[in-house]
Structure 1
Amino acid sequence: MSDRDYPEPDGEVDTLSPATLAARIGSGEPVSILDVRDRDEYDAWHVDGPGVTSRQIPYVKFVQAEVKGTVAERAPDLPEPLVVVCGEGKASAYVADLLTTAGVEAANLAGGMDAWADLLVAAEVPTDGPATVRQYRRPSSGCLGYLVERDGEAAVIDPLRAFAERYVADAADLGADVSYAIDTHVHADHVSGVREVAERTDAEVILPAGAADRGLAFDATLVGDGETLTVGGTTLRALGAPGHTHEMTAFAVGETVGCGGVVDTAGTGGDPDTARSGGDTGIAGVDVLLAGDSLFLRSVARPDLEAGLDGAPELAALLHRTLTEQFGELADDVIVAPGHYDTTTTAAESGVYAATLGELRGSLDALSMESDAFVDHVLSAMPPRPNNYEQIIATNLGRERVDDDEAFEMELGPNNCAAGGADAD
């Protein structure tokens, strides 16, 4: 049965918007979810969060209960009100109406899981630096992206293809032109939006230099460790951060004190018209570390999505060096803004998912381990790989083409880019 065949509710049904649900979950407020999709759909992907308790009871059970007059008995033993969820919000609207009529307080998630997947929430990272750093989170998957703006210029980091228009519109609201669309690495969990952002603006697509070694099939400016981009007077310094992948690159947001060298451009052979400053550049004060998939708030990155399990030990050892040596030079007060967050954690009061490097050094045992112990720890319990990760990688390299609908479907579900063996989860 398709959603268009579900009967209309008899009465007015209370609805809850995805944004309201995300705000409640982000704050840790208790939320009771009744998911009326089939079990396989629920097991693959469902609403989760620090205060969420969910139950799966298929829609057909409530149809049968309506005939028998036992709808209230069919309701799960959860604190009310219930938020009823389905794929598109139609079957759940009917069940919410049945429950309300039976005396159970219930509301329907407007648009269902489709609308939940289509939600992007923005909040500003609190920093003393002159640049505005805006974090974008997708509550359905835990993906995080960023917009850095200063003096009418902006850079978008790790944009999602599904939301390309949003970043451009938000930059315009800040009175800024998007100069750069940046990926920290070749993503395996979501379809990148760097090319789509560039198509809508005059932005230059920026990727780590190692993306070429992975078979990059479109033109992009490539950056290496120590090279810099300038956004309205604020510097984004590339910090090679291998571990999740070989090309993984974090970006330190701060003030520039010197520069030298050039950044090569794929297909240009270092054309000076397309080069950027780099080399022996230093940053007087790093305000924010856009960590990509290297260091998260409760864990570290998994190392098996590029080279598989055989290559994971080498990458895990590289990740240890990244965290202890490369990031070891950064001060404790640097704000770490990761590429993903665990959807079972609450946001800070500011609404962002970030922490200082000092806080993470104090809370994550993995950061104080010797290399061999770290490698064993990271490899000990990795979660399932992201859905369709091989096709997503090929798409993000420009080696495969998918339309917007297929891209949206490919990335549904949890991102699973953190190592399950990392300690704070």
Structure 2
Amino acid sequence: MTDRSDDADRPDDDHPSIAPDAMADRLQSGDPLTVLDVRNRDEFERWHLEGDAVEAAQIPHVRFIQAEATGRVDDLVDDLSEPIVAVCGHGDASAHAVGLLREAGIEARNLAGGMDAWADLYELRELEVETDVRIFQYDRPSSGCLAYSIISGSEAAVIDPLLSFADRYVADAVDLGAELAYAVDTHVHADHVSGVRALASEADAEAMVPSAARARGLDFDATTLEDGDEFEVGEATLSTVATPGHTTESIALSLYTALFTGDTLFLEGVGRPDLEGDSEGAAVAARRLYESLQERVLELPSETVIAPGHYSDAADPHEDGTRTYTARLETLRDQLPALSMAEDEFVSHATNDLPPRPSNHERIVAINLGLEDVDPETAFELELGPNNCAVADYSSR
């Protein structure tokens, strides 16, 4: 669905640039790269481009203006490795910096559109799953958020949609010859604003949420899903699997050999259990998560394809050119030590050394419960930054 091309690079321009989709490929390639952020320090620390082979550096744009006057631009970056991609909020200040760097003989390009364009990148790829329906994965590289569209006959369902991209799901379904019938959340998200309510009101899709979300204060009309509930999308049947732990209401959705796990199980770890309360509550939630994984997920056939709700820099996409983020359950059993831990060890692993909670998580949860309304632009701003919803299992890598 996307045109991934090196044509985004314009070597004859005074300010050569790289488009966001080409940047995503570049980061995934693993080739060394310096990302030079010319925003202010607080903006950089809140959120910046990262990657396994990325050296992230921050030099505010005002220093380039000063260096232009003195003719000492190269001194600013003499300890940085080339090639360099410069970034800023909208792409203008970083374009100016790139022009100065290239005049100094330094290999540099600008991220076209800046961090705003990076956050707006949303890619759609079809999964290679052995079913008689079509399954597509939405990928937001800026945050690692994943959503899914299931197409069967003339109907479509979207799992874990984002409000900021609500129009995309409807348009893409039409392009694929279907009408959006269902919008489903696997849990009350804390890292992004859900598009379920918007799709219900604007596209006449049926909103579906886990039934236990009512106990958390859910305050909008929606069909609630209990463990074992099923619903039809065209010729396909999706089944609900209760997987409490990351949150009390978390569910997974099963479709043939695929399991959409939300934030319960990722390719590089498990869901964090501390987003609903204090550390004592997190330990209780971690035990629920352990039980969900051991009794509801790991008991599934080894060939089950795990389709998670997020990925991080530690996750490897398929090497078949699709760059989709899924893995067979047998692969994750082998790769993730957390899945073979005893219960007490797992609880300790899942509750110690957690990263900061997602930005604005309390307000985002309130919005997703229907306690507050926001427009897509506000949602876009609230969810900028890393999602931080996982307990990473880096020892497996």
**TM-score, length basis structure 2:** 0.93
| Aligned-pair CA distance for 1:404 | 2.5
Inter-CA distance 344–421: structure 2 relative to 1 (3 Å threshold): closer
Aligned residues of 1:27 and 1:347 also touching (Cα < 8 A) = no
- Determine the C-alpha separation between the residues in 1 that align with 2:361 and 2:262: 17
Q: Structure 1 vs Structure 2: percent identity of aligned residues?
A: 50
| Aligned-pair CA distance for 1:165 | 0.8
- Determine the C-alpha separation between the residues in 2 that align with 1:31 and 1:131: 39
Inter-CA distance 76–190: structure 2 relative to 1 (3 Å threshold): farther
Deviating more after overlay: 324-333 vs 50-59: 50-59
Q: Show the counterpart of 2:181.
A: 179
Deviating more after overlay: 78-87 vs 169-178: 78-87
- Determine the C-alpha separation between the residues in 1 that align with 2:352 and 2:163: 33
Q: Show the counterpart of 1:395.
A: 367
Aligned residues of 2:151 and 2:233 also touching (Cα < 8 A) = yes
- Determine the C-alpha separation between the residues in 2 that align with 1:381 and 1:33: 27
Q: Show the counterpart of 1:375.
A: 347
| Aligned-pair CA distance for 1:365 | 0.9
- Cα deviation digits, residues 353-387 of structure 1 (max 9, x gap): 11110000011111111111110111111110111
SS of 2:48's equivalent?
A: coil
Aligned residues of 1:243 and 1:294 also touching (Cα < 8 A) = yes
Within the candidate set 103, 106, 110, 1:104 is matched to 106
Aligned residues of 1:297 and 1:338 also touching (Cα < 8 A) = yes
Within the candidate set 253, 277, 295, 1:307 is matched to 277
Q: Show the counterpart of 2:260.
A: 290
Q: Show the counterpart of 2:161.
A: 159
- Determine the C-alpha separation between the residues in 1 that align with 2:279 and 2:179: 42
Within the candidate set 297, 303, 317, 2:287 is matched to 317
Question: 1:351 is matched by which residue type in structure 2?
Answer: R
Aligned residues of 2:267 and 2:315 also touching (Cα < 8 A) = no
- Determine the C-alpha separation between the residues in 2 that align with 1:76 and 1:146: 44
Aligned residues of 1:189 and 1:387 also touching (Cα < 8 A) = yes
Contiguous gaps of at least 5 residues in structure 2: 1-12
Question: 1:328 is matched by which residue type in structure 2?
Answer: L
Aligned residues of 1:383 and 1:420 also touching (Cα < 8 A) = no
1:52 aligns with 2:37: no
- Determine the C-alpha separation between the residues in 1 that align with 2:29 and 2:185: 29
| Aligned-pair CA distance for 1:421 | 6.6
- Determine the C-alpha separation between the residues in 2 that align with 1:423 and 1:222: 38
1:209-220 matches, cutoff 5 A: 209-220=211-222
Deviating more after overlay: 152-161 vs 347-356: 347-356
Aligned residues of 1:313 and 1:375 also touching (Cα < 8 A) = yes
Q: Where do 4+ consecutive residues of structure 1 move more than 3 Å? A: 76-79, 420-425
- Aligned-residue CA RMSD in angstroms? 1.5
Aligned residues of 1:150 and 1:231 also touching (Cα < 8 A) = yes
1:75 aligns with 2:45: no
Q: Show the counterpart of 1:354.
A: 326
Inter-CA distance 326–376: structure 2 relative to 1 (3 Å threshold): same
Aligned residues of 1:27 and 1:346 also touching (Cα < 8 A) = no
SS of 2:169's equivalent?
A: helix
Inter-CA distance 235–313: structure 2 relative to 1 (3 Å threshold): same
Q: Show the counterpart of 2:17.
A: 15
Q: Show the counterpart of 1:278.
A: none
Q: Show the counterpart of 1:385.
A: 357
Aligned residues of 2:358 and 2:388 also touching (Cα < 8 A) = yes
- Determine the C-alpha separation between the residues in 2 that align with 1:83 and 1:336: 34
1:137-286 matches, cutoff 5 A: 137-254=139-256
- Determine the C-alpha separation between the residues in 2 that align with 1:168 and 1:240: 28
Inter-CA distance 326–344: structure 2 relative to 1 (3 Å threshold): closer
Q: Show the counterpart of 1:33.
A: 35
- Determine the C-alpha separation between the residues in 1 that align with 2:395 and 2:249: 25
- Determine the C-alpha separation between the residues in 1 that align with 2:208 and 2:264: 18
| Aligned-pair CA distance for 1:169 | 1.0
Question: 1:295 is matched by which residue type in structure 2?
Answer: L
- Cα deviation digits, residues 14-47 of structure 1 (max 9, x gap): 1111111012223333332111111111111001
Deviating more after overlay: 155-164 vs 402-411: 402-411
- Determine the C-alpha separation between the residues in 2 that align with 1:87 and 1:181: 32
**TM-score, length basis structure 1:** 0.87
- Determine the C-alpha separation between the residues in 1 that align with 2:267 and 2:379: 28
| Aligned-pair CA distance for 1:422 | 6.9
- Determine the C-alpha separation between the residues in 1 that align with 2:394 and 2:102: 43
